[in-house]
Structures are given as structure tokens and as C-alpha cells.
């Protein structure tokens, strides 16, 4: 009997000790920023300090830097300098790779994979200033044959491309994120499950809900963004109860909101931070701030 009591007391002590452990804080939301035409942007000797200052002022936690399909020693030096300065400021750097046809098998997909391999080689050559992730901007919807609200013929090929890149990024210890448009989230349950399991992160480009010329008041813009962002997040995960599926950030662009963009990004975080599927926000793009 005494032995049983001791065992019970030990189990209770262990349980109390477990309960007493501090709850791990949730991962803070991502605050992303696209930087296009990086070779041109970084050609300015003051550009790196300017980017660093902008990120600090706008609470940016990661940047997506367009990776030239071919880069020389000077491009590599500027990229390593940028990565070094961003890392010193606690900002992650992802290599941004874009395409309009990489959903197609054969040569189009191979070109994109070759660009991913170039990023991996860059990391091997610059171990102290490595990219932290791959960021894909594959836009088959830009091609005429893929226009139309319900036209998702390209989706299986797009998913296959994401999966092919994920094999490489996972093996290299890099994160993977991919930009997507809203109409993809109107796919059926099986398609959405396949999509959300093909990459650990996605960024929904929630564009053209509003623009400064619409004449809506700030309050009306806020309400429209609140409703649309909630609707698309619900649409993405409807019927899916799998914690391993991708999390999703929401990207907004300068032309839609002008000077109100920071306020709109803050709204997204306030509205969705408690949603386990919400990854954070991203602003398009740093280039809009340049003269």
C-alpha cells in the first residue's frame, strides 16, 4: 500500500511540474517585403542601408529579393552584403524566383529548378551569408489560356512544381513560400488539400479590393479588407483539419491603399493573429518607395 502511495505522489509531482512549465509563446507573425530588380536596386551604394532602415521603420521581419537568373561576381558580392546587413538586424532573406510557365513540365519547369539550384549553389559558396528560404512567384494565370474566374486547368502542374522545389528546399534546410492568387482557393477539397500540402507556406496576393480612386472612406476600405481576408482564409481551409498543412500570409500592394497601406497591414494582424492558419502579412513592394 505504501509503495502505491509513493508512486501516486511521484506521478502527481511530475504532473504538477509539467503544468508549471511556462507556455511557449506563439511564433510572431511574419512581416514580409518584396524587392524586385535587385541588381538595379543594389547598384546604388546607399541601397543596403536604405533597405535596412526601411525594414526597421516598417517592422519588416523578412524580405524577398529577386534572384537574377544569371549573376556575376559583383551581383554576388552585393547580395552577400545585403544578406549580412539584414541578418545583423534580425531580418530573414528569401531568394525570390519568378516565372509565368514553370507549372508546365519539361523545359519551363526545368528552368525554374535550375534557378533554385543556383540559389543552393550560392548558399554553398557563401556559407556565412546564406539565403534563409526560397520564395516562388509562379503566375500561370498570366497566360491567356488560363484566364477566367473558374479556370484552374494549370493547378495540378503548379502543385507538381511546388512539390519538386520543396524536395530541394527541405533537403537544404530552407523555408519555402509561394505567392498565389485568390481564385486558386476556390478549388475543390481534394485540390486544396494537395495545394496546401505542397509547400509549408503560401502568400495570398489579396490585390485590387480597393484603390485610392474608388472614393471609399478609410472605414469602408477597412471593412472590405476585413471581410475579404476572413472569407479567403475560411475558403482555403474549409473542410481541412490537418495541422501539417501550410500556413498563409496575406499580401497587399501600395497602389490599392497608398499611404494607408501600413494601417491595412496592421488590421490584418489584429484580425487574424489568433487564427492558427495565419502566417502574417507582406507588402508589395519596396520598389514602390523608390524615386
282 near 203, Cβ under 8 Å?
A: yes
- Look at residue 212 in the predicted model and tell me its pLDDT: 65
**DSSP-assigned beta bridge partners for residue 201:** 177, 247
- Look at residue 16 in the predicted model and tell me its pLDDT: 35
Nearest to 179 by CA among 62, 109, 99, 270: 99
- Look at residue 218 in the predicted model and tell me its pLDDT: 86
Q: How confident is the model at residue 69 (pLDDT cuts 50, 70, 90)?
A: confident
- Look at residue 6 in the predicted model and tell me its pLDDT: 44
174 near 133, Cβ under 8 Å?
A: yes
**CA-to-CA separations, 263 to 195, 268, 270, in angstroms, rounded:** 30, 9, 10
Burial status of residue 278 (CB atoms within 10 A of its CB: 0-12, 13-18, 19 or more): buried
Residue 98 lies inside a defined structural domain of this protein? yes
Grid cell of 159 as nine digits: 502543385
Instruction: Report residue 218: phi and psi, to 5°.
Output: -55, -40
Per the listing, cell 519538386 goes with: 164
The total domain count for the chain is 1
Residue 7 lies inside a defined structural domain of this protein? no
Nearest to 48 by CA among 88, 13, 14, 12: 88
206-257 pLDDT per residue, tens: 999 866 667 788 899 999 999 999 999 999 999 999 999 999 999 999 999 9
- Look at residue 17 in the predicted model and tell me its pLDDT: 37
Structural domain that includes position 146: 27-289
- How confident is the model over 1-10, as a mean pLDDT? 44
Residue 267 lies inside a defined structural domain of this protein? yes
Contacting residues for 160 by C-beta, under 8 A, at least 6 apart: 103, 105, 109
Residue 1 lies inside a defined structural domain of this protein? no
- Look at residue 214 in the predicted model and tell me its pLDDT: 72
Residue 9 lies inside a defined structural domain of this protein? no
Residue 123 lies inside a defined structural domain of this protein? yes
CATH number of the domain within which 221 lies? 3.20.20.80
- How confident is the model over 43-53, as a mean pLDDT? 97
Residue 252 lies inside a defined structural domain of this protein? yes
Coil, strand or helix at 236: helix
- How confident is the model over 23-40, as a mean pLDDT? 84
Residue 17 lies inside a defined structural domain of this protein? no
Beta strand segments in the chain, E: 30-35, 62-66, 92-99, 133-138, 175-180, 201-205, 247-253, 278-284
Q: Name the percent of the chain lying above pLDDT 70.
A: 90
Grid cell of 214 as nine digits: 474608388
176-215 pLDDT per residue, tens: 999 999 999 999 999 999 999 999 999 999 999 866 667 7
Grid cell of 266 as nine digits: 496592421
Asked whether the predicted pLDDT for residue 25 surpasses 60, the reply is no
Q: What is the mean pLDDT of the chain?
A: 91
Amino acid at each position: 500500500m505504501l509503495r502505491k502511495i509513493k508512486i501516486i505522489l511521484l506521478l502527481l509531482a511530475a504532473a504538477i511540474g509539467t503544468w508549471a512549465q511556462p507556455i511557449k509563446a506563439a511564433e510572431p507573425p511574419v512581416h514580409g517585403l518584396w524587392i524586385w530588380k535587385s541588381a538595379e536596386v543594389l547598384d546604388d551604394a546607399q541601397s543596403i542601408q536604405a533597405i535596412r532602415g526601411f525594414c526597421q521603420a516598417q517592422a519588416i521581419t523578412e524580405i524577398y529579393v529577386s534572384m537574377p537568373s544569371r549573376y556575376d561576381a559583383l551581383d554576388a558580392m552585393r547580395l552577400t552584403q545585403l544578406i549580412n546587413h539584414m541578418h545583423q538586424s534580425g531580418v530573414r532573406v528569401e531568394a525570390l524566383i519568378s516565372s509565368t510557365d514553370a507549372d508546365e513540365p519539361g523545359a519551363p519547369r526545368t528552368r525554374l529548378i535550375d534557378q533554385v539550384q543556383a540559389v543552393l549553389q550560392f548558399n554553398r559558396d557563401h556559407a556565412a551569408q546564406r539565403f534563409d528560404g526560397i520564395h516562388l512567384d509562379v503566375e500561370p494565370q498570366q497566360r491567356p489560356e488560363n484566364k477566367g474566374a473558374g479556370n484552374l486547368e494549370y493547378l495540378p502542374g503548379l502543385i507538381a512544381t511546388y512539390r519538386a522545389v520543396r524536395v530541394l528546399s527541405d533537403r537544404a534546410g530552407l523555408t519555402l513560400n509561394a505567392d498565389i492568387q485568390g481564385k486558386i482557393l476556390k478549388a475543390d477539397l481534394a485540390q486544396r488539400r494537395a495545394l496546401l500540402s505542397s509547400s509549408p507556406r503560401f502568400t495570398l496576393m489579396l490585390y485590387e479590393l480597393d484603390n485610392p480612386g474608388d472614393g471609399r472612406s478609410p472605414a469602408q476600405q477597412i471593412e472590405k479588407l476585413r471581410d475579404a481576408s476572413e472569407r479567403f482564409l475560411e475558403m482555403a481551409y474549409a473542410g481541412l483539419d490537418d495541422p501539417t498543412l501550410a500556413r498563409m500570409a496575406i499580401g497587399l500592394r501600395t497602389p490599392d491603399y497608398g499611404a494607408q497601406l501600413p494601417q491595412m497591414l496592421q488590421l490584418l494582424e489584429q484580425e487574424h493573429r489568433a487564427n492558427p492558419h495565419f502566417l502574417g502579412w507582406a507588402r508589395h513592394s519596396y520598389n514602390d518607395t523608390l524615386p
